[in-house]
Structure 1
């Protein structure tokens, strides 16, 4: 199946971005980019270029055969040859070439096929004029202007391909000239001026068209690259705004937003929402004993342990403030949340982080408060869930620390 859609080549490299800025600033008079950018340009514009070529290929077959009428009026003595060459040779060759062109993935070789079609049209026209004996054969050279205009303006040939075609036409006329019946100089001089003017004007048009196309492409790529960089920067800023930079878990803002979404979803499906609130025991004493850098590392290890122990996709670990962390567990009952909290407490103990300033243990420990509510129950709120978790943590700390305490209404701790 023919795919005429654009090719997404992704953002350009830093070097290419610099090259684009340089090209836009200094220009590109030779209509060529550095190799990598040139490859991207050819591939990125291949779909639009192919559409133009397909349309013009159909038109050129119709119009080139339409010149049989002109052949009948100006060189009737070679009419049979004209029909054979235009209908029997040019038409099938162009149709076969169009099929090959569509199947050709290389933009360069597609342009070569367009050039060859122009060369074939030139050769057929000059051959007919060189074998005709009609005195109007010389003035009929003006038909070459049509080949030039169609190739340059309608088919929108790439500039350097157009230059090659014009050179071929000039050489072809020079070779065929001795065989073309002579015509009055008063006719041939204006005809020559028409051909020269047509070549000059259409070449200028080819150059301007390709230059503008390339410049617009550079602008689009630069804009696309800037937008991609802006998107990346915004995503990074959003991530930073939602994450605690020290511990690399969610921050309080993200926790509040996440809990609100989880709560809304639970109100619909009737599931429970649990909170596990964690406080590092005697953390001020830890900072005083080991220094703030060590304290930061302690918090990072506690956060990493929480993330390892709470790995379900629907759960969230956040830094609640200072040495406090909080976890949201979706669809989790109190007994299950208590089991998870106990695993967290044991995992922190197994870190064996020395804490000689702690009256609770010679290693870093945590106190944990747990609460779980079902949002669809009468009278429950997010604020109430947070309050219960906070009260449970308070009870865990007042009961000797290094322990897990459930919802105060449950009546005890572990």
Structure 2
């Protein structure tokens, strides 16, 4: 039947598309509730509920978190450590002003004890160690700083004795807020500084008992407040990580859903060939390219012979299997990746062969016809009412070609191929017929003149 008289058999295709769309939508819904995203949502809810909750994630998620932030965290701590080393040694100026007779001890403790240890830890951090080594090294360094402070301010006078608790508070502030120790390690740092403070105050001979209680309380409650701030900082960091991971998962799922929807909009769900809409777009692109490069382009219209009998006697499911087999064989017979095949509607297919002459297109069509004839049909499930026709699948092909598409309406190529297909069917089916080579209308007029 000519192209302008043929109506597309879209009922089955529409049902298949709806069924395919439903499958994709249900897949997207199931994927949205995947275990990893559920785990992330659970952790986000746990940290955002406003109550105190353990910060550590499950083992797998904690490992992912550490892999993501561990390296950058170690590098940041090493950079901040250099600034801390500098500031710690600048306190030598105030040490000299307050207790010049102990400046030698201050130089020894700050420059010869703390600083070398700090540089060793700096080198360790630059190698991006494990979380235990990274956090533990900062706890060790804060312990060294606390011990040096106690030794430096031990048994000087009543005024200097108050410097030790203040120094311990400053050490807690640096380790737990500036360096942002993980909460469990921050607790260890706080306990060490508080124990050091208690030991210093108990043995100090200059402060009165009420002053010792006051200074000890200052270190303890200051450490508690610093610990609360440390907890909040780490919770916000972990929440930001969880939300980032959740957004990444949603973005991946959205991208996959978009690809599925794009596949639905451009491909026939039954055969996985391009659909009619995608064919029209590709036809325009290939036609314009042929016009620019002045290369030939050919089209092949393919129709399955006696397909109505197949559907009427064997049912639509069997007919679907025939269509799938023909589509697969068509793809196998193409010349290469530049050839374009589409399901044109119902039992019809169309090929676009860029750069192919009429002779080359005839060879492709004949190869498809012979391949489908040799492959035959799936085994029928019902008796064949017309044995003379049978169910041995064959196709008829119509071929049209344009050597130079300049000045030619591209719809003429399809019309010519469809006319050739109609001729092949009229001559007995299972054959390939070709239309005359297309020429621009202006050339034809000049020929008449």
TM-score, structure 1 as length reference: 0.88
Q: Using the alignment, how far apart are the partners of 1:283 and 1:333 within structure 2?
A: 30
Unaligned runs of 5+ in 1: 1-10
Cα distance in 2 for residues equivalent to 1:40 and 1:406: 63
Distance 1:30 1:273 in 2: 68
* 1:26 correspondence with 2:46: yes
> How far, CA to CA, are the matches of 2:100 and 2:210 in structure 1?
23
Residue in structure 1 matched with residue 406 of structure 2 by the alignment: 378
In structure 1, C-alpha distance between the alignment counterparts of 2:298 and 2:252, rounded to whole Å = 39
Q: Report the counterpart of residue 405 of structure 1 in structure 2.
A: 433
Matched, 1:139 2:162: yes
Among 19, 37, 51, which residue is 1:17 paired with? 37
Question: Deviations along 1:174-231, whole A, 9 cap, x unmatched?
Answer: 3444554422456544433432332122111111111112122212211221121111
Partner in structure 1 of residue 190 of structure 2: 166
Q: Structure 1 residue aligned with 2:371, among 347, 372, 388? A: 347
3-state SS, counterpart of residue 317 of structure 1 = strand
- Structure 1 vs Structure 2 CA RMSD: 2.5
- Cα distance in 1, alignment partners of residues 390 and 72 from structure 2: 73
Q: Greater CA deviation, 219-228 or 301-310? A: 219-228
Q: Is 1:310 matched up with 2:334?
A: yes
Aligned residue pairs: how many?
398
> Aligned pair in 2 of structure 1 residues 85, 311: CA closer, same or farther (>3 Å)?
farther
Determine if the alignment matches structure 1 residue 288 to structure 2 residue 345: no
Aligned match of 1:363 = 392
User: Post-superposition shift, 1:287?
Assistant: 1.5
CA–CA separation in structure 2 for the residues paired with 1:390 and 1:380? 17
Give deviations 1:26-80, integer Å, cap 9, x for gaps: 3371111111111112222235423531332112101111221232234444321
| Structure 1 residue 330: Cα displacement | 2.3
Report the Cα distance in structure 2 between the residues aligned to 1:321 and 1:210, rounded to whole angstroms: 60
Cα separation, 1, equivalents of 2:361 and 2:113: 83
CA distance in 2, matches of 1:104, 1:192: 37
Alpha carbons of 1:159 and 1:48: their partners in 2 closer, same or farther (altered >3 Å)?
same
Deviations 1:262-316 (CA, angstroms, capped at 9, x unpaired)? 2233333333222121000111012122222111111110001011112612222
Q: Indicate conservation of the 8 Å contact 2:168/2:197, yes or no.
A: no
Tell which deviates more after alignment, 244-253 or 109-118: 109-118
- SS class of match (2:54): coil
Please name the residue that 2:25 is paired with.
none
2:175 to 151, 154, 157: 151
Q: 2:63 aligns with which of 35, 39, 52?
A: 39
Residue matched to 1:3: none
Aligned to 1:395: 423
Out of 286, 297, 318, the position equivalent to 1:273 is 297
Partner SS, residue 244 of structure 1: coil
TM-score normalised by L of structure 2: 0.82
Partner Cα distance (1:319, 1:76) in 2:
94
1:170-209 matched pairs, under 5 angstroms: 170-177=194-201, 180-185=204-209, 187-209=211-233
**Aligned partners of 1:17, 1:91: CA distance in 2, in Å?**
46
Is the contact between residue 46 and residue 53 of structure 2 (CA under 8 Å) also seen in structure 1? no
Q: Is the 8 A contact 1:77 1:133 kept in 2?
A: no
User: 1:343-393, CA deviations, whole angstroms, 9 ceiling, x for partnerless residues?
Assistant: 11000011122795486676211001112224x543223212211211221
CA contact under 8 A between 1:360 and 1:401: conserved in structure 2? Answer: no
Taking the aligned partners of 1:72 and 1:398, their CA distance within structure 2 comes to 112
Q: Give the equivalent residue in structure 2 for 1:6.
A: none
Aligned-partner Cα distance in 2 for 1:407–1:323: 21
Q: Structure 2: 5+ residue runs without aligned partners?
A: 1-30, 439-449
CA gap of 1:54–1:317, structure 2 versus 1, over 3 A, is: same
